[in-house]
Amino acid sequence: MIPDEVFRSLAIQTESRLVMVVIDGIGGLPVRGKTELEAAKTPNLDRFTSKAVCGLIDPVSYGITPGSGPSHLALFGYDPFRYEIGRGVMEALGIDIPLSKDDLTARGNFATIDGRGIIVDRRAGRIPTEKNREICRFLGKEIKEVEGVRISIYPGKEHRFVLVFRGEGLRDNLTDADPQKDGLKAKGTEGLSQEARRTAEIINLYLKKANEALKSFHPANTVLLRGFSKIPHIPTMSEKFKLRPAAIATYPMYRGLARLVGMEILKTGETLQEEVETLKKYFDQYDFFYIHFKKPDMAGEDGNFKMKVKAIEEIDRILPSIFKLKPDVLVITGDHSTPTPLKSHSWHPNPILLFSNYVRPDRIRRFTERDCQRGQLSRFPAMDVIPLMLANGLKLKKFGA
């Protein structure tokens, strides 16, 4: 792995423009002999593949199925084992809550307890989202702070919410305040270090107050908290790579991940066209763009092969307008595989293509898992994509004499 200080000493700012297109959940598995990419008609991708170098990337490591957090960190050039993004933070990013480095986050469930404090339903019967919003509004007004720590509650879907504690000196090495199982007694959190004990006390005080406030809200008469976390101390892409990076994504979680590494978040719309319009609009103002296309992952999670093929074909049709901007370096890849037979993220490597003026095109004709495996980039860790892009943009000086 390339040490951080090597990048710091080698990276230089130049005018070259790097574009990283991330197709969420792109990799798949064969169904009747063909993967989603193999079944899709992708004339633009194919044409472009012929001019590029190809390979396969591993999001994190052989056999590891990554969440969106680690897979994106790796693509952004960070070691996903070194920088962990907690569940609370991921949930907060997913609903676009701005976080500062002092904020402590937690994922929450509304749940049902009986008279003896035993959890009888960890999801409070999956109360409707509308009901959830109503309870959050109530709780938010009822408990604004505990011992000087400000508390905000943000509703999610059904029984889920995000809690943010804002104050100085909060720690996140805490046990879950959630027994993870029905039939057990609800419990508070414990601090795993001397310094974390005060934080645990504050959270446990909050839980006590919340239980009192929720008495009349059966089945949502208690809260369970888990995944206590703060944002990791992570150097920005500008500090680490001397890039001026910007992100274009329609989903808040990906914008949040990009914000974690210091990207500027560009306002965009809901469609592929709008995302590419945004890229065009800001193309002169940044030198690195991360553009995220979400749909293939959703189709993969649904197990809908045809819909994933369609989503890929739709992306293929938008690509020429990206090529037209003439980025100096263009990468097209995925953050992880979401094969329709698995209906979930998977550990499989993903195809990647890299185009610049300084590649040896490797005679690969199609952008699929099995074609790209014969490419010159070979199979390599996603973390090495950014160094390669920097090199191809002539943004890295020589190492050593």
3-state secondary structure of 43: helix
Looking at residues 85 to 144 of the shown chain, list those that interact with its own copies (rule: CB under 8 A): 85, 87, 90-91
- If one asks whether residue 349 binds its own copies (CB under 8 A), the answer comes out as yes
- If one asks whether residue 363 binds its own copies (CB under 8 A), the answer comes out as yes
Find out whether the peptide bond into 59 is cis, omega within 30 degrees of 0. Answer: no
Q: Give the list of residues 6+ apart from residue 95 with CB closer than 8 angstroms, or none.
A: 154, 156, 162, 252
The encoded tokens of residue 340 equal: 């329709």
Looking at residues 197 to 236 of the shown chain, list those that interact with its own copies (rule: CB under 8 A): 227
- Shortest reach from residue 141's CB to its own copies, in Å: 29
Judged by CB under 8 A, which of 16, 42, 44, 68 binds its own copies? Answer: 68
- If one asks whether residue 170 binds its own copies (CB under 8 A), the answer comes out as no
- Shortest reach from residue 64's CB to its own copies, in Å: 5
- If one asks whether residue 362 binds its own copies (CB under 8 A), the answer comes out as yes
57 class by beta-carbon count within 10 Å (0-12 exposed, 13-18 middle, 19+ buried): buried
Looking at residues 367 to 386 of the shown chain, list those that interact with its own copies (rule: CB under 8 A): 369-370, 373-380, 384, 386
- If one asks whether residue 49 binds its own copies (CB under 8 A), the answer comes out as no
Judged by CB under 8 A, which of 19, 25, 35, 319 binds its own copies? Answer: 35
**Calpha distance 264→243 (Å, rounded):** 11
Stretch that binds its own copies, among 76-84, 193-201, 204-212, 313-321 (CB under 8 A): 76-84
- Shortest reach from residue 301's CB to its own copies, in Å: 12
Which letter, b or e, does each residue of 129-153 get, where b requires 16 or more Cβ atoms within 10 Å of its Cβ?
eebbeebbeebeeebeebeebebbb
Please state, in angstroms and as integers, the Cα–Cα distance from residue 341 to each residue in 6, 67, 208, 327, 363, following that order.
Answer: 42, 18, 44, 35, 30
- If one asks whether residue 335 binds its own copies (CB under 8 A), the answer comes out as no
**Calpha distance 289→325 (Å, rounded):** 12
- Give yes or no for a contact between 367 and 46, defined as CB atoms under 8 angstroms apart: yes
- Shortest reach from residue 274's CB to its own copies, in Å: 27
Summarize as ranges the residues that interact with its own copies (CB under 8 A).
Answer: 1-3, 6, 10, 29-30, 35, 56, 60-70, 80-81, 84-85, 87, 90-91, 227, 339, 341-342, 344-349, 358-363, 369-370, 373-380, 384, 386-392, 396-401
